[in-house]
Amino acid sequence: MSFLLSAYRTLRPLLFRLDPEPAHGLAFGLGKIAQPIPGTTNLLAAMAGQPSPSLAREVCGLHFSSPLGLAAGLDKGAELLPIWKALGFGFVEIGTVTPRPQPGNPKPRLFRIPTEGLILNRMGFNSEGAEVVARRLKHRPSGLIIGGNLGKNKLTSEEQALDDYRMAYRLIAPEVDYTAINISSPNTPGLRKLQAPEALKPLLEGLLVTRKDLALERQPLFVKLAPDLESEELDAIVDVIAASGLDGIIATNTTLDRGIVSEANRPKVQAWGDGGLSGVGLKDKAREVRRRILQRMPAGMPFMACGGIGNGADAREALADGAPLIQIYSALIFQGPGLVSEINRQLVSPST
């Protein structure tokens, strides 16, 4: 086992004694202190080991050093990019960034079930706003693909959503390599309604006009979908996305389905209240959705697989399904930063 994996295994009981959001704040705060100290990221990169050159790939004209990326939501403000790169991620999706700053939902809004590798969150797009994040991105490290995941402000109606996405896009898109339209968070009231074909079509068309206005036609634009769609609904959505001229799909976001929690833990999760679930239990559902989308999508259209991926076997399975890129979030919380190089390693040598 790598040093990073075993070190996290030792530290985890202490970290998990804290409530999830303060624990996240502590780990993030330490990262922010360590990151600017000369030599830190080099040391981390040396400990993690960088992705084998055989993992590198071109997708949408972008060069990824590994197919493994950090999913949106962990580094909402693009604050730890050098650290993610040092750990061996091929790409990082920052955000969700909203056009204007907003605090997100009241706390507590983040919960975990370590015995099941599950997280429940109703963060509700806590965001510093697109201006602040865009300014920070001007100092982004080279050699790491960065995606900008965009959302609307809570108080913006669904009818006005396009204006919000456009505002966030204008500020963030020039600073990143691809953008992702998040219409699948369950924690912003009404957001998922934007997935309905009649709402989705004008939204995507409008954003493609903005992309053209900014002369960013060559920059890939993705849309991120929920795992809670009926099959026919999903097919109709994929058809709208494919016809729109958008570049690709990310699936999935968190699920509202409490059925993925063991019966023993379900009452506790019900008591926590609203929110989306992610982690191990989401894997089967996300895989089902992914396979349906990949079957329906035009051949060769890029896809990012997300949801419950937690080891090399899961990652390989997603790649074998036809996803050229994969993203992780929850597994990183439970297994720690050494997981990135571990998955990279297992993608090259499955049996070791």
Ligand X SMILES: Cc1cc2nc3c(=O)[nH]c(=O)nc-3n(C[C@H](O)[C@H](O)[C@H](O)COP(=O)(O)O)c2cc1C
Site residues, ligand X (CB under 6 A)? 71-73, 76, 95-96, 110, 119, 121, 123, 149, 182, 185, 224, 253-254, 278-279, 282, 306-309, 328-331
Q: How far apart are CA 152 and CA 188, in angstroms?
A: 9
The distance of closest approach from Cβ of residue 72 to ligand X in the complex, given in angstroms and rounded to an integer, is 4
2 annotated active-site? no
| Rounded to 5°, angle at Cα 246 from 146 and 250 | 55
Spacing of C-alpha 292 from chain mean position: 20
Q: How far apart are CA 89 and CA 144, in angstroms?
A: 8
Q: Quick one: which of 57, 61, 59, 58 has its CA closest to 218?
A: 61
Nearer to ligand X, 41 or 92 (CB): 92
CA distances from 257 to 154, 228, 276, 277 (A): 23, 7, 8, 8
Count of CB atoms situated within 10 Å of the CB of 347: 21
Nearer to ligand X, 41 or 335 (CB): 335
H helices present in 49-186, as ranges: 81-87, 130-137, 161-172
The distance of closest approach from Cβ of residue 280 to ligand X in the complex, given in angstroms and rounded to an integer, is 8
Nearer to ligand X, 185 or 219 (CB): 185
Q: Which residue is nearest to ligand X (CB)?
A: 73
The distance of closest approach from Cβ of residue 154 to ligand X in the complex, given in angstroms and rounded to an integer, is 13
Q: How far apart are CA 42 and CA 39, in angstroms?
A: 5
Nearer to ligand X, 250 or 297 (CB): 250
CA distances from 295 to 285, 290, 292, 300, 323 (A): 16, 8, 5, 11, 11
The distance of closest approach from Cβ of residue 253 to ligand X in the complex, given in angstroms and rounded to an integer, is 5
The distance of closest approach from Cβ of residue 82 to ligand X in the complex, given in angstroms and rounded to an integer, is 21
3-class DSSP assignment, residue 96: strand
How many residues would you count in the chain? 352
Nearer to ligand X, 241 or 328 (CB): 328
Q: Which of 185, 244, 278, 330 is catalytic?
A: 185
Active site (catalytic) residues: 185
